[in-house]
Amino acid sequence: MLFEAIKSKASIGAVIATPGAAKMLDGVAAHHVVDESVFHQISSVENSQGVISLVRVDDQPVAECLHGNPLVMALDGVQDPGNAGAMVRSAEAFGASGVVFIKGSVSPWNPKALRASAGSLFRVPFAIVGWEEFLAAIQERRIALYAAGARAEKRADEVPLHEAAAILIGNEGVGVPMEHERFGTLVRIPTQSVESLNAAVAAGILLYEARRQRQ
């Protein structure tokens, strides 16, 4: 993660490492070596790689996520940081223009979300905004909203994701709020034997379908 941050030209405030991990940090400026017992007292994870970094990660105005022929992933009440990070990773992999964290979702700065993104949060434009601001931004630019929902009549391959589109993924337990999904088209991913998919898996499939249509 530290090397991804450096590669992405993120601002590195400080790096703390154990003696063993410090051997990997040749050329990394401003790193401090501390005893392992001290390191484990300040580490937030049980099995660390021996490196803690203070890195500045800036969110963007929502407009920065809507450039070109927009394909924006919007998280609406997503609570699991691992899911959130995986969604950002998929967004980068399938060419999304940006990711929007609607207020009430987990923070993109959550350490687990950052780790799950595997560096994508350093490169993909992302914004943290309220629902009203997000809705106004996509309506102003005539970006169609597609909300993931297991009870939808339309399949993902039946809607024009090759056009300007925002994909809305809701809370892991209850999905997209009904008061939000009414502003868009509800779409589903056909499955058998199971009623619904993990939120991050659903996001990845919908982003892949958008990419497939755009190619």
Q: Cα(first)–Cα(last) distance of the chain, in Å?
A: 31
Q: What is the dihedral sign for C-alpha 123, 173, 77, 134?
A: positive
Residue-range domain boundaries for the chain: 2-56, 62-214
Q: Is 23 exposed, middle or buried (0-12, 13-18, 19+ CB in 10 A)?
A: exposed
pLDDT exceeding 90 applies to what percent of the chain? 65
Q: What is the mean pLDDT of the chain?
A: 92
* CATH class, range 62-214: alpha beta
Interval 89-101: pLDDT, tens: 999 999 999 999 9
Q: Beta-strand (E) ranges in the chain?
A: 11-17, 31-33, 51-56, 71-76, 98-102, 126-129, 144-148, 154-155, 165-170, 185-188
Asked: is 2-56 a CATH 3.40.1190.20 domain? The reply is no
The model's confidence at residue 29, banded by pLDDT at 50, 70 and 90, is low
- pLDDT value of residue 73: 98
